[in-house]
A and B are shown apart, each in its own frame.
Chain A
Amino acid sequence: MSTEYNNTPNLKRSVQWSWLFKMAWRDSRRNRSRLFLFVSSIILGIAALVAIYSFGYNLREDINSQAATLVGADLVISGNKPADKNLQPMLDSLGTEHSQERNFASMVLFNKSGDTRLVQIRALQGNFPYYGNIETTPVSASKSFRTGQYAIVDAALMQQYKARLNDSIKIGNLTFLIAGTLNQAPGQTGLSAGIAPVVYIPMQYLEKTGLVDKGSRINYNFYYKFDKSTDVDKLAEKLDAQLDKSSLHYETIETRKQNTGRAFSDLNRFLSLVGFIALLLGCIGVASATQIYVREKVASIAVLRCLGVKASEAFLIFLIQIAGIGLIGSVIGAALGTLVQQLLPMVLKDFLPFSVTSSVSWLALGQGVVLGIIISVLFAMLPLISIRNISPLNTLRSAFENVSLGRDPLRWLVYLLILGFMLGFSYLQLNDWKASIAFSVAILVAFLILTLMALVLMWLIKLLMKASWSYLVRQGFANLYRPNNQTVILMVSIGLSTAFICLLIFMQSMLIKQVTLSASGNQPNMILFDIQTAQEKGVLDITKKYKMPVIQQVPIVTIKLDQINNKTAATLPKDSTADNLRKAFGYEYRVTYRDYLTSSEKIAEGKWIGKAEEGAAIPVSVDERMARRLDIKLKDKLVFNVQGTPMNTYVASLRKVNWNKVQTNFQVVFPTGVLEEAPQFHVLLTHVPSGEASSKYQQAIVKQYPNVSIVDLGLVLTILDQILDKIGYVIRFMSGFSIATGIIVLIASVRISKYQRIKESVLLRTLGGSRKQILVITALEYLFLGSLSALTGILIAVGGAWLLAKYNFEIPFQVNYIPALILFGLTAALTIIIGLLNSRGVLNRPPLEVLRSDT
């Protein structure tokens, strides 16, 4: 005791970082399992993001290594009309080798079964692909079909119509023998094969099918192989202006890399956003857990302050602890994410045109760990800064125990940082400020609604609780508003998870319903297109013979837009401000002419003129959205090009068009008396009452008019259902992380609150409370919390679905409440089960034992 110290006060002690780390470590020793609970909430969010990031990086690598096989050639030149005669020599001279392909939609008739189906015909000439293969069974079929009147047919189609090798199919006027089953065409995904199954035929037979007529919608592809010394991209850039003039465009391996990369980075961004929601939920868990943790640490912090620890040092001790535990959680999450990543290629297989490797991405792992630390520190910061305000007087008086953020101005900085982080992170995923703000605001609004609901709930219970209620009910409800309650955190985490999954269910069912409704009753459910003028009457006769109604019969003319108020493609500024107009001038419009408005159209501005006067300017009606996009106003002068003939028109009216209705809708409608003699084809809309009638009707049309293509909405509906199911599966897989995080936050919150409740429960048991009574109190509390959170979540989902339906998808708002009810029941039940399971410790052991071990 004889140590002497200097009398002069030295008040300039610097922060001893090593001691702070030592204290953080020491203090964590007795709390590790609880600290792990805090951080367990972020593990799944980090895992989801690391999995997606790793998948993204691997995908990028794979796109780079496999792009050549996706394109199949060094250069592809495409257009939707035959090449100009003066361009043809140039097209023929390119490359060391070249191939051609024409592709278009057409009906195929399976001769054996008599079934018909709309497919994508690819008529091929040459040795394409130069990289990769057309994958067929038998393998030799990819080459041998080119030697005669053979076809290779999509595998799913073969299976669906029970077709076998050497069966015959009819395409147009010609019959082909099936030489093989097409397993994968270059660049084709499982999804695109489902929408438009492919049938390859040799191009030398195309003419004889009779399917190539004026007005038929055919895509022309020219595939080139170059020797390695040629800089194909440079060459393509040089050709671009010339190709552009002929409405042709090009693709190289490099441009495909960029385009595929862009498309998949969009998918990756969307998935990351879904993962981010899981992470946000976890953050809420971290924030709430830290708040309770800090509250419990008040006495220790006060003692440290008494012993001379500065406010900032006390704050740093716990900051280091949270960052450390955040690091551990992030590392576990990142490791788990690497495992989950192995599953992603399986989940996304239908969307991928190639196989994706699953190697460990250290960059993704690093990003996940850094993100985890940032997010755990950021969200723990709000309760952590309150440590600075803990007075050493707490050692003497318990009255100071209530630590609140009060008027600490730093809390605004923390709020700002959290908002900034959310916005910044969403921007990194979405690359669009507007969408990022909308996303952040939506999350914030949902969060605020749930917080508000929790506060109103607590206030209402306090207000309405009556002494006459049974003790158990009063006790159960009182747990919702008493100090250290978990009401807000549980409401937010359960509510947000429920809202998210419910919104997904609502949107999926609404989109399906929209299509189902479109095809029900007397609405058209079958569309016949590519009917040539000469075939019009014959098709009508067959329709009448099969007693089908002709709901709509529309002529369609393909035209181009040459001028808007004397502005042409050539006079446009070169910068991106004119991108919309440039596209408009390069685009082929399919327009119609008639003297009436359909049920899906309304005049928004101007006057509808159905008949053109001879010699005068032609009045046309333009879709409102197109007008907005191209800045077209009433009376503006538009010059259209109809197969080489210029047509001077002016905008007589702007129409509001309901594009969601299943019928033919047009951006531009001409009056009668102008286009009647132009090359055109016709579309007929009818309603078939059953699958059987549909099949017979289709066979009759295809037999007589093989060039006519038929879209069966019943089939479209099935395909749409499958696509939505596949997309839904991916989203469900990702949202599974949010749900699991919600459950973990729930478990963590309940377990943390267990420490708060233990003393009360033990006291109750000591005073003679039975096991059953404590069970009822706990069950009531969690029943109320679970059901109210789920209900609020579902209401938020209803609101979100309404907004999305009205403003994004522009479809009627009709939700199916049965899945929502099931979700409600499940959420409430799960909350009670978790609540009760976590209270087992208190229920099954003697009170003293519980107090000794848990406090």
Chain B
Amino acid sequence: METILDITNLSKTYKSAGKTLSVLDDINFNIETGSANAIVGPSGSGKTTLLGLCAGLDRATLGSVVLNGVNLNNLSEDKRAQVRNQFVGFIFQNFQLLPTLTALENVMVPLELRGEKNIRARALDLLDKVGLASRGHHYPTQLSGGEQQRVSIARAFSNAPKILFADEPTGNLDAETGEKVQKLLFDLNKDAGTTLILVTHDLELAGKTQRILRIKGGKLVADEKTAIAQ
């Protein structure tokens, strides 16, 4: 199988009050194209930091992150931003929609950035797929949490990303809504053939992916295939 993400000897340290704090220590793994994966671990284990590094939101202290053949460590923040725009989709726990843009405009932004054509129709099509075609002109504050996360999913898929990073995508939603959002996420992911990396506390959600990477104290302590993969 082809690899989309290659993590080698990845370490991240921060300096705080004159002391060096190691958040991630010598992490190694790779992710196959089109697979669904979960990163799990207790609070403070370093999973969000790992997600940030994998998605090119931050730079590693040591080691390398190669995303779709591009070594992110060698790129400036602006170049990494363009890599994100071309290959990466994001879903956040707190939705992170732009509050001053309508739902439709939020979905359109990644496409506009790429200078695509026929943007509006495509964004409407995506909103339709997440069941919000009629709410396109509403601002985020006029939408419920579940609706906001569905808009966020539509936005994440709008640039047809090679890889989708989701940080606790159902963490802020009630069980029923969370269930619906999960289904939507996996369905769309399957349709588009996108690689998925989930960061979650929710082992049930993690169990719906093919592979679980367990992080503890900044180290990768387990790399397991789930029942789905087998």
On A, residues with C-beta under 8 Å from B are: 1-5, 7, 9-11, 13, 16, 19, 22-23, 26-31, 299-300, 302-312, 391-393, 395-397
A13 and B100 contact, Cβ closer than 8 Å, known pairs A4-B160, A307-B110, A393-B58: no
Interface string of B110-139 (1 = CB under 8 A from A): 101111000000100010010000000001
Complex alpha-carbon distance, A304 and B92, angstroms: 13
Q: Point out which of B81, B87, B122 has the most chain A C-beta atoms below 10 A from its C-beta.
A: B81
Assess whether A396 is in contact with B52, with CB atoms less than 8 Å apart.
yes
| Of A9, A27, A396, most B-chain CB atoms within 10 Å | A396
Interface pair A396/B51, CB less than 8 Å apart:
yes
- How far apart sit A628 and B100, CA to CA, in the bound complex (Å)? 68
Q: What 3 pairs between A and B have smallest CB-CB spacing?
A: A308-B85, A1-B192, A30-B100
A299 near B96 (CB under 8 angstroms)?
Answer: yes
11 A-B pairs with CB atoms under 8 Å apart are: A7-B69, A13-B85, A16-B112, A26-B100, A29-B100, A30-B99, A303-B96, A307-B113, A310-B81, A392-B57, A393-B57
Q: B48 in the interface, Cβ–Cβ < 8 Å?
A: yes
Contacts of B110 in A (CB 8 A): 307-308
Report how many residues on chain B are interfacial, defined by Cβ distance under 8 Å: 48
Contact A19 B113 (CB under 8 A): yes
CA distance A150 to B168 in the complex (A): 103
Which residue of the partner chain, among A26, A30, A395, contacts B57 with CB atoms under 8 Å? A395
B100 adjacent to A396 (CB under 8 Å) = no
Q: How far is the CA of A309 from the CA of B98 in the complex (A)?
A: 13
Please name all residues of chain A whose beta carbon is closer than 8 Å to the beta carbon of B21 when the two chains form the complex. none
Shortest CB–CB separation between residue B34 and chain A, in angstroms?
13
Q: Using Cβ atoms and an 8 Å threshold, which residues of chain B touch A393?
A: 52, 57-58
With most chain B CB atoms within 10 A of its CB, the pick from A11, A22, A31, A312 is A11
Interface contact B105-A26, CB-CB below 8 Å: yes
* Known A9-B70, A391-B57, A396-B167: A308·B160 in contact at CB below 8 Å: no
Q: Which chain B residues border A9 with CB–CB below 8 Å?
A: 68-70, 82-83, 86-87
Q: Are A5 and B101 in contact (CB under 8 A)?
A: no
Nearest CB in chain B: distance from A484 CB, A: 18
Query: Given A26-B105, A396-B92, do A310 and B78 touch, yes or no (CB 8 Å)?
Result: yes
**C-alpha gap A401/B174 in the complex (Å):** 27
User: Is residue B32 contacting chain A, with contact meaning CB distance below 8 A?
Assistant: no
Asked if B109 is an interface residue, CB under 8 A from chain A, the answer is yes
Q: Is the CB of A309 within 8 A of B113?
A: yes
- CB distance A396 to B48 under 8 Å? yes
Q: Which residues of A contact B84 (CB under 8 A)?
A: 306-308, 392
Main secondary structure of the interface of B (DSSP, over half): helix
**Bound: A429/B129 CA distance, A:** 63
Closest-by-CB residue of B relative to A22 is B112
Assess the A307–B139 pair: CB atoms within 8 A. Answer: no
Q: Which residue of A lies closest to B101 (CB)?
A: A26
On whether A19 and B112 interact (CB within 8 A), knowing A7-B68, A306-B57, A395-B90, the answer reads yes
Could you say which residues of chain B place their CB within 8 Å of the CB of A31?
100
A7 to B87 alpha-carbon distance, docked (Å): 8
Most A CB contacts (10 A, CB to CB) among B78, B112, B167 go to: B78
Docked complex: B46-100 residues within 8 A CB-CB of A: 48, 51-52, 55, 57-58, 68-70, 75, 77-79, 81-87, 90, 92, 96-100
Q: Which residue from chain B places its CB closest to the CB of A1 in the assembled complex?
A: B192
Is A1 within 8 A of B188, CB to CB? yes
Q: How far is the CB of B117 from chain A (nearest CB, A)?
A: 12
CB distance from A460 to the nearest CB of B (A): 26
Min CB gap A28→B, angstroms: 8
On chain A, the residues within 8 Å of B81 by CB distance are 305, 308-311, 392
Chain A positions within 8 Å of B126 at CB level: 1
Instruction: Tell me whether A3 and B92 are in contact (CB under 8 A).
Output: no
Which of the residues A7, A11, A22, A28 comes within 8 Å of B82, measured between beta carbons? A11
How near does chain A come to B36, taking the closest CB pair, in angstroms? 15
In the complex, how many angstroms separate the beta carbon of B42 from the nearest chain A beta carbon?
17
Residues of B within 8 A of A4 (CB): 160
B51 lies within 8 A of A310 (CB): no
* Bound-complex Cα distance A7 to B188 (A): 20
Closest to A3 in B: B160
